[in-house]
């Protein structure tokens, strides 16, 4: 891990993300790219009107001043932090910055579920997750410990989840994390017998080129929704983070269809990280 992007709006939530980024950057000797987007309209950016140009210049200068104050944190003293200001209008363009800078991870600060019915769906966080080609870590609270010793990876054990699984394993093994893989069995047309699930798991690990000893880390749980199953299992094992495969713009992985992935990120108090399929 060499570069971490943290979208910053100078709020408490983006500071929570920055704090996590600083811890990871210290551990991996990585650089933190603190990204602020002015979200200016096309009119303001393209007009020849002198007043509009002055407004754009004013907001840019104001952001520079805010950055200078915002980045004066004790935990950043030994971290290489590069502030970046872009005239982007939408958060989906964070991926452009990630590609140009060859970043490894995006860390987003976001509201917790308390007091917010749907912070994730339709939010800036969701736009980043759906458009990012690299993992996105969503932080909703200030974390005391940033060790991620215990990880729950939600998986349907289809072939399209193999690459996200490999990327998650690669990341968390470097952190010496314990990885639990969980499949949620639902009481409807998707119900599978234990034998059927086990066959899927064996096929999954075989095609992934993984030792079948990994089957000891696989857990089958039954619940009314995938969201409840994943969150309840994470609470049961005392997980530090939940990992989810995502299709990005196309929606979520087969067993995470619809808004299930967003629901997990919405309602889990734990950090949630997404891996692109």
Same structural domain, 18 and 118: yes
Range name among 23-32, 53-62, 65-74, 252-261 with the lowest pLDDT average: 252-261
Q: Six-digit token pair at 85?
A: 């200001």
**E-only strand ranges, 90-197:** 105-109, 136-139, 150-154, 178-185
Terminal Cα distance for the chain, rounded: 19
User: Total domain count for the chain?
Assistant: 2
Tens of pLDDT, residues 90-127 = 666 889 999 999 999 999 988 654 433 443 434 777 77
The predicted structure's pLDDT at residue 257: 47
Which of these three, 84, 119, 143, is where a domain ends? Answer: 143
Same structural domain, 134 and 152: no
Residues 58 and 7 sit within 8 Å (Cβ to Cβ): no
Q: Six-digit token pair at 220?
A: 């089958």
| Residue that the structure tokens 């002055």 belong to | 54
The predicted structure's pLDDT at residue 90: 61
CATH number at residue 274: 3.40.50.620
Same structural domain, 79 and 186: no
Work out the percent of the chain whose per-residue pLDDT is above 70. 81
The predicted structure's pLDDT at residue 259: 52
Can you give the residue range of the structural domain that contains 55? 1-143
Same structural domain, 113 and 167: no
Range name among 44-53, 57-66, 128-137, 250-259 with the lowest pLDDT average: 250-259
Work out the percent of the chain whose per-residue pLDDT is above 90. 51
The predicted structure's pLDDT at residue 140: 86
Closest CA to 172 of 207, 130, 128, 214: 214
Average pLDDT over residues 172-193: 91
**Taking all residues of the chain, what is their mean pLDDT, rounded to a whole number?**
83
Q: Six-digit token pair at 219?
A: 């857990």
pLDDT at 58 over 70: yes
The bridge status of strand 136-139 relative to strand 272-276 is antiparallel
pLDDT at 47 over 90: no
Query: Given pLDDT bands bounded at 50, 70 and 90, which one contains residue 37?
Result: confident
The predicted structure's pLDDT at residue 119: 39
The predicted structure's pLDDT at residue 125: 79
Closest CA to 148 of 19, 273, 12: 273
Same structural domain, 131 and 251: no
Q: Six-digit token pair at 12?
A: 């408490």
Average pLDDT over residues 243-249: 78
Same structural domain, 261 and 194: yes
pLDDT at 42 over 70: no
* Distance separating alpha carbons of residues 138 and 270, to the nearest angstrom: 9
**E-only strand ranges, the chain:** 3-7, 31-37, 81-86, 105-109, 136-139, 150-154, 178-185, 218-222, 241-246, 272-276
Residues 178 and 151 sit within 8 Å (Cβ to Cβ): yes
């Amino acid at each position: 891990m060499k570069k971490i992007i943290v979208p910053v709006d100078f709020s408490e939530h983006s500071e929570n993300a920055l704090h996590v980024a600083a811890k990871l950057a210290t551990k991996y000797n990585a650089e933190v790219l603190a990204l602020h987007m002015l979200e200016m309209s096309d009119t303001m950016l393209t007009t020849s009107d002198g007043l509009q140009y002055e407004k754009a210049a004013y907001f840019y200068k104001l952001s520079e001043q805010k950055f200078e104050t915002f980045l004066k944190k004790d935990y950043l003293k030994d971290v290489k932090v590069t502030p970046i200001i872009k005239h982007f209008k939408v958060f989906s363009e964070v991926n452009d910055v990630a590609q140009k800078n060859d970043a490894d991870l995006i860390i987003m600060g976001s509201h917790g579920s308390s007091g917010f019915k749907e912070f994730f769906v339709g939010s800036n966080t969701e736009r980043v997750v759906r458009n990012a080609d690299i993992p996105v870590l969503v932080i909703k609270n200030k974390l005391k410990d940033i060790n991620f010793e215990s990880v729950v990876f939600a998986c349907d054990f289809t072939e399209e989840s193999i690459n996200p699984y490999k990327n998650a394993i690669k990341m968390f093994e470097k952190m010496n994390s314990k990885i639990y893989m969980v499949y949620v069995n639902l009481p409807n047309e998707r119900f599978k017998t234990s034998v059927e699930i086990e066959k899927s798991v064996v096929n999954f690990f075989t095609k992934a080129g993984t030792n079948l000893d990994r089957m000891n880390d696989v857990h089958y749980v039954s619940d009314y929704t995938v969201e409840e199953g994943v969150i309840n299992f994470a609470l049961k094992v005392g997980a530090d983070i939940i990992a989810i495969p995502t299709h990005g713009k196309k929606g979520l992985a087969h067993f995470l269809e619809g808004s299930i992935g967003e629901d997990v990120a919405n309602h889990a108090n734990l950090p949630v990280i997404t891996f692109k399929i």
